[in-house]
Amino acid sequence: MPLWFNRCYAGGVLISDLPTPCALVDLEQLERNVRRIADKARRLGVRLRPHVKTHKCVEIARIQTDLHFGGVTVSTLAEAHAFAAAGFTDITYAVPIAPQKIAEAADLHCEIDVLNLLVDHSDTVRAIEETAASRGLVLPVFLEIDCGGGRSGIHPDDERVEQLARRMFEADSIEFRGLLTHAGHAYRARSRSEAFEVACEERNLMTALAAQLRDLGAPVVELSVGSTPGMRAIDDLSGITEVRPGNYAFYDATQAAIGSCELDEVAFSVLATVISVQPEYGRAVIDAGALALSRDPGPVHVDPDCGFGRPVAVEDQHPLPGLRLSALAQEHGTLAGPGIEALRPGTLLRILPNHSCLAAACFDRYHVLRGSEVVDEWRPVRGW
């Protein structure tokens, strides 16, 4: 029977037995990463609602929410359904909801305790009001604030913040939950101290905006913030009620480059096999391309030569500075650098991806390791 049908893992399966490319999760490192942030959230007096988009995996979310209130954040309704089916009853869908998906979200909200929705536009607010009113429901909704990331949300000084907050507060069919933001620009930091500045700004901006809205009579119950660089850097979250980091379960080469973690804290890697070695042409090739690693350019603002991921030793994940993953095609990854001389077809390498959330999404299963032994196989949620 091919190895990938063996779900028992009664012992004895080693990394070297796995078909490549494949996704590896280092369980002990994952547990350390999760514990550190769980302890920090408790110490800073905020609720931890981890974002599960990084792994989309119920087993990992259970470890993350252990000893916390059990809430999670998702980025697709497919994740919301799967986590609800696995027993998670307090979920925030942290993407502005498409009007076409409101009915589906309302149904799911009725099945569990809470499915919080997110909006940044009056048309969406109207669509939620209509759907909720037609079903006799009250749907919980956050207003998204753009605190500098520039992705979605309303700028804090835009008059529509007050208009939408007031409208939701006054609506019979909406429970206005509060404000939510994600400081995506923390990824432009070059060090933990720069990420600290971004996280402080995020906190200050959100608490000031909440105070302003409260003065105008729109009660803001929740202030939800969070990113992994911010959560690693910040030491005071006064006024904030919850945090939603996600990447910290795995980390990746980008987090290491911007100072959120050390390289040996990365708990997710892609196992690859060398399939071509041509030192005469200055290259070797692995069987992990863009469909195994994604094409994330990585932390080029810190290291213009970072390549498409960090090659590390298969046994203990120590860095291999003589190798650079210089190019990716669909199924090929090209290695360059003096280290290619030591490679042979069949050599196994691990690659620490530039962005573990994107790389993990390339796989339909994670091989779970304790040391070099494969102890389990976890199936993440896929689709939208």
Ligand X SMILES: Cc1ncc(COP(=O)(O)O)c(C=O)c1O
Residues that bind ligand X (CB under 6 A): 51, 73, 94, 182, 226-228, 244-248
Is the omega angle on the peptide bond into residue 21 within 30 degrees of 0, that is, cis? yes
CA dihedral (21, 53, 358, 319) in degrees, to 10, reads -70
Q: CB neighbours of 5 closer than 8 A, spacing ≥ 6? A: none
Choose between 173 and 260: whose C-beta lies nearer to ligand X: 260
What phi and psi values does residue 169 have, to the nearest 5 degrees?
-65, -35
Q: Give the whole-angstrom CA distance, residue 81 versus residue 259.
A: 34
Q: How far apart are CB 256 and ligand X at their closest, in Å?
A: 14
Choose between 21 and 230: whose C-beta lies nearer to ligand X: 230
Rg of the chain, C-alpha, whole Å:
22
Q: How far apart are CB 93 and ligand X at their closest, in Å?
A: 10
Q: How many CA atoms lie within 13 A of 99 on its CB side?
A: 9
Choose between 252 and 377: whose C-beta lies nearer to ligand X: 252
**C-alpha to C-alpha distances, 287 to 46, 91, 110, 291, 351, nearest whole angstrom:** 43, 37, 45, 10, 11
Identify the three-state secondary structure at position 293: helix
Q: How far apart are CB 118 and ligand X at their closest, in Å?
A: 8
Q: CB neighbours of 217 closer than 8 A, spacing ≥ 6? A: 166, 169
Q: How far apart are CB 94 and ligand X at their closest, in Å?
A: 4
Q: How far apart are CB 371 and ligand X at their closest, in Å?
A: 27
Q: Give the whole-angstrom CA distance, residue 131 versus residue 129.
A: 6
Choose between 142 and 176: whose C-beta lies nearer to ligand X: 142
Q: Provide the sign of the torsion angle of the four alpha carbons 47, 249, 206, 119, taken in this order.
A: negative
Contact 306, 253 (CB under 8 A): yes
Q: Give the whole-angstrom CA distance, residue 351 versus residue 166.
A: 49
Choose between 254 and 334: whose C-beta lies nearer to ligand X: 254
Q: How far apart are CB 213 and ligand X at their closest, in Å?
A: 20
Token couple for 211: 């105070």
Q: How far apart are CB 120 and ligand X at their closest, in Å?
A: 12
Say if strands 222-225 and 174-180 run parallel, antiparallel, or are unpaired. parallel
Q: How far apart are CB 369 and ligand X at their closest, in Å?
A: 22
Q: How far apart are CB 296 and ligand X at their closest, in Å?
A: 13
- Nearest residue to 232 via CA among 46, 31, 50, 37: 37
Choose between 248 and 308: whose C-beta lies nearer to ligand X: 248
Choose between 173 and 247: whose C-beta lies nearer to ligand X: 247
Token couple for 106: 């309302």
Choose between 226 and 289: whose C-beta lies nearer to ligand X: 226
Choose between 129 and 202: whose C-beta lies nearer to ligand X: 202
Taking each helix axis as running N to C, give the angle between helix 102-111 and helix 122-135, from 0 to 180 degrees, rounded to the nearest 10: 50
